[in-house]
Every structure is written in structure tokens, then in C-alpha cells.
Amino acid sequence: LLYKLVFAGVRSQDQVSQTPPSLTVSEGEIATLHCNYTASNLYNLQWYRQRPNRSPENVMILFSDPVKDSQFSGSLDKVKSSGVFNVSNSQAEDSVTYYCAVEAQCLKAVRGPDRNTEWS
């Protein structure tokens, strides 16, 4: 089974990196994926999966506390700017692409001269 990490949903000044870039695991094994980021005012870290020919679906949102269900578990370390995501009980049909995304809070709203709100 091949698990891939792809990163999306970050602002231009924020960065994410992946380890490993792809991972092959046998059926029933646990796949562990890492996401490292630089994001000012991080709000949450999200994990998505995308099956072939399907739209991405959100499988986990991490704020501060670890999350665990029957198939996925994850944790977020804001001090180290990293997250860990585990997929357990892998099945053949789980050969999908996983996406890590960071969501950062806007620092402040600034009223522009044309009366449109600009976020910075």
C-alpha cells in the first residue's frame, strides 16, 4: 500500500514539509506520517485523504489535544511546529493520497481606502 503526503491550503508566507514524501506499508500495518510547518498564529492542522477519482475528504482536525478513532490518530506539537498522523488497520483499498494543511488565524482586519476589508 502506498501512502503519499501532499501539502495544500497554506498561505504564501507559511511553509510545510513532509516526512516521508511517500510510504509503503503492508496490509494491517500502521502508517505514520509527519507534517512540519512554519505558520504564524496557527489555528489548526488538518489531514485530508483523497481516493483515486474522488474529491478530498477531511479525516482529522487537530487543535491542541490528540485525536484518536478506530482508524486514525494524530497529535499536534505547536512548540515544535509539527504534527503526527497515524493510519492503522491498513486495507488494500486505503491506497490513497493524504494531505496535510495548516490553517492560520488572521492577525487583524485593516479597513482599506476603498472600504474593502483587507486581512493581514
The pLDDT tens digits for 22-73 are: 777 777 788 899 999 987 788 899 998 888 888 989 999 999 999 999 889 9
Strand runs labelled E in the chain:
2-7, 15-19, 22-24, 31-38, 42-50, 57-62, 67-68, 72-77, 82-87, 97-104, 109-111, 117-119
Tell me which of 8-17, 26-35, 96-105 is least confident: 8-17
Higher pLDDT, 86 or 106: 86
Q: Position 42: which residue type?
A: L
pTM assigned to the model: 0.72
Integer Cα distance of 85 and 106 in angstroms: 26
Integer Cα distance of 35 and 28 in angstroms: 23
Is the distance from CB of 46 to CB of 111 less than 8 angstroms?
Answer: no
Name residues whose C-beta falls within 8 Å of residue 12's C-beta, 6 or more positions apart in sequence: none
Strand partners, 77: 82
